[in-house]
Amino acid sequence: APARPRFRRRPTRRTGGGGGGGGGAYASHGAGAGGPAWGAPPQPYAPEGPRRRGMGGLVAAVAAAALIAGGIGGAFGYWAADRNGSGSTTVSASANPQDLKRDPGTVAGVASKALPSVVTIDAQGGDGEGGTGTGFVYDKEGHILTNNHVVASAADSGQLTATFSNGKKYGAEVVGRAQGYDVAVLKLKNPPSGLAPLSLGNSDQVAVGDSTIAIGAPFGLSNTVTTGIISAKNRPVASGDGSGSSNSYMSALQTDASINPGNSGGPLLDARGAVIGINSAIQSTGSSVGQTQAGSIGLGFAIPINQATNVAQQLIKTGKPVYPVIGATVSMEEKAGGAVISNQGVGGTAAVSKDGPADRAGLKAGDVITKFNDTTIDSGPTLIGEIWTHKPGDRVTLTYTRDGRTDTAEVTLGERNGDS
């Protein structure tokens, strides 16, 4: 099984990281019944959230320097040409820029069509915390799909605005959010007419090597388009703000398209322009001296759109997420050789919930789950990520070891409603 990366969310928060996924509450019974954290959480991967406001000055300074250098170069070029005589060696392009057309299947064509349906989200919390992230139009009613950690700071008290590529801004409110999945749905308060939802692809049919296009607002630079490929599928990822109290778990699509703080919540598109994932986390080498947020090293992770769509539909319908569970508390150790069912649950409760899915399937404390259907399980977070790609009521096969012997169990997934 591929090594499970550990990511730190990097929402473009003004004063600290964004609240990312619902780590603790789901981990302890994330594979199981529900409740507080599973135990010592893994070091999470960094979500590419919003950028800090202070970065604006740095970006502006860099841009100004570039303009000055460009001016000097232009002046020198003119002087050199003048010294070489009046003859011209330049070749003119077509007088009509319209003659240069981009085919619909090109990156330029896909971006041109998708950009009007992508928004930059500004979250201003009531306590002064906030930042910027990305989202995209989910339906014609004005629902916007994004990451939970993009909007968490302003979800309970604060202001949310969505800015389209044409510069028009609209107020928004949270319809529902799921910490564990790191998915949130917003609704524009006065949506414009003619909204064009992005078409949704099928993330189950994505293949390694497929082309990808990411759109977002890295470090506040709205409407930025980057390209890459699908580097891996079903990558087990635990992402969070580093505190362990707000982790999320996913079986992610990995891409080398450049993703940075501020890209969080934005669409990952395939070559046709269909959404195949929501950009959510990055692996980073860490921040350099004087920097507060690290950038892309070509390891980005997206929530598969099939899973995100299921979550979004539930949030729009009820405002609360529903999590499939097996009814067992598992260890969060990284090198356990599988997901170890704990000897004791949280707060002294039983590790295997009585009459829960795991109990009915004959699983016991101490069992080590090594496979979920055909997927190898190397840790508790990996198991959670796989469970959460399914729905309550799905029947799955768990392979486990007990006292040196390997066996299998058929488990019908139960459910838990809400984030608490």
What the block records as the tokens of 349 is 């409760």
Taking only the tens place, the pLDDT of each residue in 185-202 is: 999 999 999 999 999 999
Question: CA dist 302 to 182, 298, 340, Å?
Answer: 11, 13, 27
Rounded distance, CA 224 to CA 245, Å?
A: 31
**Sequence-ordered list of residues with C-beta below 8 angstroms from that of 99, at least 6 positions apart, any chain:** none
Of 111, 43, 86, the residue nearest 270 (C-alpha): 111
- Give the chain's domains with CATH numbers: 1-53+103-317 (2.40.10.120), 322-417 (2.30.42.10)
Ranges 68-72, 140-144, 239-243, 396-400: which has the least confidence: 68-72
pLDDT tens per residue, range 261-285: 999 999 999 999 999 999 999 887 6
State mean pLDDT over 384-404: 95
- 377-399: average pLDDT: 94
d(Cα 19, Cα 363) in Å, to the nearest integer?
A: 34
Give me the chain's average pLDDT, please.
Answer: 79
- Percent of the chain predicted with pLDDT > 70: 71
Active-site annotation holder among 149, 258, 359, 378? 149
Q: Render the burial of 63-77: b for 16+ CB within 10 Å, e for the rest.
A: eeeeeeeeeeeeeee
pTM above 0.85, yes or no: no
Catalytically annotated residue among 182, 241, 367, 419: 182
Q: What element of type H or E holds 226?
A: strand 224-240
Instruction: Say if residues 5 and 301 touch (Cβ distance below 8 Å).
Output: yes
User: What pLDDT was estimated at residue 368?
Assistant: 96
Give the residue, 327 or 7, on which the prediction is more confident.
Answer: 327
For residues 105, 106, 109 and 115, what is the CA-based torsion angle, rounded to 10 degrees?
A: 100
* Whole-number Å distance between alpha carbons of 177 and 21: 10
SS3 sequence, 5-28?
A: CEEECCCEECCCCCCCCCHHHHHC
Task: Assess whether 149 carries a catalytic annotation.
Answer: yes
Spot the catalytic one: 264, 296, 331, 379: 264
156 as an active site residue: the answer is no
Q: What is the mean pLDDT of residues 392-410?
A: 96
Whether 152 and 23 have beta carbons less than 8 Å apart is answered as no
Lowest mean pLDDT among 12-16, 86-90, 232-236: 12-16
DSSP per position, 209-223: T-EEEEEE-GGG-TT
Q: How far apart are CA 227 and CA 214, in angstroms?
A: 6
Residue 348, pLDDT > 70, answer: no
Selected residue with higher pLDDT from 197 and 26? 197
- Structural element, H or E, at residue 380: helix 380-387
- From residue 93, how far is each of 67, 81, 89, 90, 103 by CA, in Å? 24, 20, 13, 10, 19
Query: Higher-confidence residue: 1 or 96?
Result: 96
In this prediction, residue 291 carries a pLDDT of 46
pLDDT at 342 over 50: yes
C-alpha 236/C-alpha 102 separation (Å) is 37
